[in-house]
Structure 1
Amino acid sequence: MTTEIPPTVGVLLAGGLARRMGGGDKPMRTIGGRTILERVIARLKPQCDGLILNANGEPLRFSAFGLTVVADDVPGYPGPLAGILAALDWTATNRPGIKWVLSAAGDCPFLPRDLVARLHAARAADNAQLAVAASGEQSHPVIGLWRVALRDELRQALVVEDIRKIDRWTARYPLATVTWPMEPLDPFFNANTVEDIAEAERLAALDERSAQ
């Protein structure tokens, strides 16, 4: 990482229930001979000062990936904000010198290689507390940059105020939004359904060609 980018822990959010795929772990599905999670790790590892995985249930199912698995500590599967909170708490305890966490969906295999750099640049330029990614006309609040110091405020919002939507929470703070182009492919394409896996196979070939 360059000196201009603050040290940043990355958390891969894989705590969802994958109902649209009939259950199971979406990041474990295979695209082009590699799991989606392998692809996400390969994109983010060079950009972050360590990666952790947010997932609920038996952590040993992810043991082959060599990542620390951190479960939600807010009951009831309240959604990605709980995974972000778990990552902020883990970072505060285990990496106390790090002030920033990047979150990314564990089912987005084509994440930008400049994700962390651009989010930090926009946050600094806008003097924002948080930064999120977008492509086209769509914001992707699950993919964002979070200040560790806000973890107590996030816990209050989740546990006491029962806030579940990321947009509702981020609206309280100065927020930077960074938009990526959707050509040659949307870098935030996510595999939500069985049909998406087939489309991801096509995009993976396109992505490999564009990187050459």
Structure 2
Amino acid sequence: MRGMIEEITAALGTNGLILRGGFLFPDHEGAPHGASGASAKSVLLVGQAGAAPWPHFLRWQQQQPQAIANPLDTWSRQIIGDVAREFGARAVSPSDKPYLPFHQWAVRAEGLRPSPLGILMHPRNGLWHAYRGALLFEEEIALPEPCEAIHLCDTCVDKPCLKSCPVDAHSTDGFAYQPCLAHVRGAGGGPCRAGGCLDRNACPYGTSYRYPAEVQAFHMAAFAGL
């Protein structure tokens, strides 16, 4: 089984994606179904650290005959789906409906905790990582239990991520979606549109993994419907 994990890792790596841990579903949980329709017994999370998939995604996008809606989701589904078929798994996506509990799965798979922005804080990558999908297997895959990761937010005294947004979109009360959206779309939102969320960029951790400005601009445009 370890050999299969290594093969999956290599297959994903050709497009800049990585395995993000996994776990076994307890019998009482009511797991989603796998490739044949039977209940899955194992899940492997697939995602990225930093912007490694970006050049692969851009090449794919440039080869498409016409613009498509949600291109990054479509690309991710295609790449992860190809790997799933190769290894007898079912591929699922965070945008699938009905929604699967990807956030809970990520916490279980890697032992991470949310930052004040809601994004899970990674001890190496900071806020610059993402989950793009998962592989559901109908057999048990032996994986080590995730260690409780150091939660960097606990060591951060100044919390610049709660002080950099001009409309205070993030606070201990949560995310003020409408004020954020109005600002990004408005006359004063140019820096956010061009270089991403100012609160997220203010985080001092994982800066070597920070997405380039063009990647952040792409995600911000998707968020704001620009």
* TM-score (normalised: structure 2): 0.27
| Structure number, greater radius of gyration | 2
Which structure carries more strand by proportion? 1
